Amino acid sequence: MPEVTLRMARQQDAAAMTVLQRASWLAAYGEVLGADLLDSLSPSVHLQLWRKRLGGHDPRPMLVCVQDVVVGLLYWQHQEGDIGPEAHIRALYLHPAHWRRGHGKRLWQAVAMQMRRAGYERVSLWLLAGNRVGQGFYLRRGFRFDGTERTLSQQGRPCLQQKMSRDL
């Protein structure tokens, strides 16, 4: 059985995180946004974004690794919510070759504990409408839609997002 580990991301993980994010985006969002849109997003932009985040003061992303290869990440930040401070999931990605193997659940459980230890009682996220894989994952973890929606533009295309949250 392959060794599965959890650890905090390091600066040298930025490239692996970029590859993983793009593979996950294509598999989860390809039907929703179109593969052409996702292909047009620059890998160097994502790489720079991860390098910046890894150099900042926010909590570092937690990684799940199989045989020391990064296959998943969960990145969250502090946010002022409607009823006070809350943890906000900015990114949760698993490489599609590792979906439905328990890695996401394990990653979520570890980060939820990290959030509780940091004093948070609530967590939220924005889910892209049509992301069935993500929706199923979050619903199984106890997240619920709160009725809040927003539409962002991604290279001129509207992207509807729905807010989900849960108590920790």
State the pLDDT at residue 82.
Answer: 77
Closest alpha carbon to 35 in 25, 45, 47, 43: 25
Mean pLDDT of 137-150: 96
Mean pLDDT of 79-98: 90
| The pTM of the whole model exceeds 0.85 | yes
State the pLDDT at residue 7.
Answer: 96
The two tokens of residue 58 are 């926010």
Q: What strands lie across the sheet with 144-154, from one edge to the other?
A: 4-8, 62-66, 69-81, 84-94, 122-128, 157-167, 144-154
State the pLDDT at residue 22.
Answer: 86
pLDDT at 43 over 80: no
State the pLDDT at residue 18.
Answer: 92
